[in-house]
Amino acid sequence: MANMFTAMEQKLQAKYPAIVFPEGEDSRILDAAARLAEEKILKPILLGDEQAINTALKSKGLDLDLVDVIDPQSYNELDELVASFVERRRGKVNEQEAREILKDVNYFGTMLVHTGKAAGLVSGAAHSTADTVRPALQIIKTKEGIKRTSGAFLMVKDDQRYIFADCAININPSASDLAEIATTSAETARIFGIDPRVGMLSFSTKGSAKSDETQKVIDAVELLNETGTDFPVDGELQFDAAFVPEVAAKKAPDSPLAGRANVFVFPGLEAGNIGYKMVQRLGGFEAIGPVLQGLNKPVNDLSRGCNSEDVYKLALITAMQAL
């Protein structure tokens, strides 16, 4: 895992993207931002009270030229952001409403990404997932051909790396949603140097049970096969049939995955959220994310229980997505 993040750091030092942190006064954000700035991996943009943030950074011995600190209340380019926000919302808000909305640091930070002043955003240390995702969906929006964003976790233990999705956003995804999640999760896997092999999970393997829940996974795989993919994918598969070659040989002998899936798409949020937490807590894996997938520009969500190391790593991932 260390080698993976070291490689990210080296790539980013050559590009030096700017990443905005709306929760700029949070001690965990400050610690991570100081480290990122000191190592000149990326340019942190910290939102909040300028004096408080600068005092905290000075106490860490950081050269303040390595960071940008913006107080949204006194930002001298606010008029530009307001006008751009009104245009982006296409008549859903007027100028006065836009000014009020942009007092929210997540909306303000997302507008910095939209206008190109930052390459990506990391939030969620003190805000809910909805607080981070809502501005992104309204302003950044999803890529062409993608209807929904989704949340993936990178699961890491020693030299093992897997992608789990969707574990954060979509409660009951349809067959077409699952197909999209599979495609965007394969893209996310490649960011981490994983050659994606996508298993579409269910409580059934190849018709061992029949229900609406299993059928939507089958339909998702059919959609992927019809449109074509540049990665192997199969389903519906129970986890053991997707992951254990010996089990796959018995339950799904014709599967192109042959029990070697490394990207796992769960049939619903309930399974995905429970699944990643079990692997994290019982299996001893580190869960990095959720990485928001399918957006035009990267916006990522921290857990409110995160530490500075979590912030640091998600910032690296966000910057890599921007590249």
CATH number at residue 6: 3.40.50.10950
Q: In the prediction, which pLDDT does 2 show? A: 63
Give 31 or 4, the one with higher predicted confidence: 31
Contact (CB, 8 A) for 183 and 199:
no
Helix (H, G, I), strand (E, B) or coil at 116: coil
206 and 238 co-located in one domain? yes
Question: In whole angstroms, what is the distance from residue 50 CA to residue 64 CA?
Answer: 11
Give 12 or 180, the one with higher predicted confidence: 180
pLDDT score of 14 more than 90: no
Domain that holds residue 47: 2-141+295-322
129 band by pLDDT with thresholds 50, 70 and 90: confident
277 and 181 co-located in one domain? yes
Q: In the prediction, which pLDDT does 1 show? A: 57
Q: In the prediction, which pLDDT does 47 show? A: 97
Q: Which of 197, 151, 200 is nearest to 171 (CA)?
A: 151
291-311 burial, b for 16+ CB within 10 Å, e for fewer?
Answer: bbbbbebbbbbbeeebebebb
Across residues 18-26, what is the average pLDDT? 96
The residues that bridge with 265 in the sheet, in sequence order, are 165, 200
pLDDT tens per residue, range 234-271: 999 999 999 999 999 999 999 999 999 999 999 999 99
Q: Which of 236, 220, 229 is nearest to 179 (CA)?
A: 220
CATH number at residue 260: 3.40.50.10750
pLDDT tens per residue, range 49-108: 999 999 999 999 988 999 999 999 999 999 999 999 999 999 899 999 999 999 999 999
Q: Which of 314, 302, 289 is nearest to 106 (CA)?
A: 302
Q: In the prediction, which pLDDT does 28 show? A: 95
Residue 147 Cα distances to 98, 151, 201, 234, 269, angstroms: 25, 14, 21, 22, 17
The pLDDT mean for the chain works out to 94
Across residues 128-138, what is the average pLDDT? 92
Question: In whole angstroms, what is the distance from residue 191 CA to residue 177 CA?
Answer: 21
161 and 278 co-located in one domain? yes
Question: In whole angstroms, what is the distance from residue 141 CA to residue 294 CA?
Answer: 9
Domain total in the chain: 2
Overall size of the chain counted in residues: 323
Contact (CB, 8 A) for 179 and 239:
no
Radius of gyration of the chain, Cα coordinates, nearest whole angstrom: 21
217 and 117 co-located in one domain? no
- Residue 46 is encoded by which pair of tokens? 């910290």
Question: In whole angstroms, what is the distance from residue 285 CA to residue 308 CA?
Answer: 18
- Residue 59 is encoded by which pair of tokens? 């106490």
* DSSP-derived secondary structure letter, 102: T
Residue at 250 is within a domain: yes
198 and 306 co-located in one domain? no
| DSSP per position, 247-277 | HHHHH-TT-TTTT---EEE-SSHHHHHHHHH
pLDDT score of 274 more than 70: yes
Share of residues in the chain with pLDDT > 90 (%) = 84
Longest distance between any two alpha carbons in the chain, whole Å: 65
At 3, the amino acid letter reads: N
Question: In whole angstroms, what is the distance from residue 221 CA to residue 84 CA?
Answer: 40
Q: In the prediction, which pLDDT does 323 show? A: 84
Residue 203 Cα distances to 147, 200, 207, 212, 267, angstroms: 26, 11, 10, 12, 9
Q: In the prediction, which pLDDT does 141 show? A: 93
161 and 117 co-located in one domain? no
Q: In the prediction, which pLDDT does 152 show? A: 95
pLDDT score of 4 more than 90: no
33 band by pLDDT with thresholds 50, 70 and 90: very high
87 and 117 co-located in one domain? yes
Q: In the prediction, which pLDDT does 189 show? A: 95
Q: In the prediction, which pLDDT does 173 show? A: 97
121 and 162 co-located in one domain? no
pTM: 0.87
pLDDT score of 162 more than 90: yes
Q: In the prediction, which pLDDT does 215 show? A: 97
Give 312 or 6, the one with higher predicted confidence: 312
Q: Which of 286, 213, 268, 208 is nearest to 240 (CA)?
A: 208
Q: Which of 195, 214, 196 is nearest to 205 (CA)?
A: 214
24 and 58 co-located in one domain? yes
Residue at 290 is within a domain: no
Residue at 288 is within a domain: no
Question: In whole angstroms, what is the distance from residue 149 CA to residue 199 CA?
Answer: 19
86 and 216 co-located in one domain? no
119 and 11 co-located in one domain? yes
pLDDT score of 12 more than 80: yes
20 and 47 co-located in one domain? yes
At 81, the amino acid letter reads: L
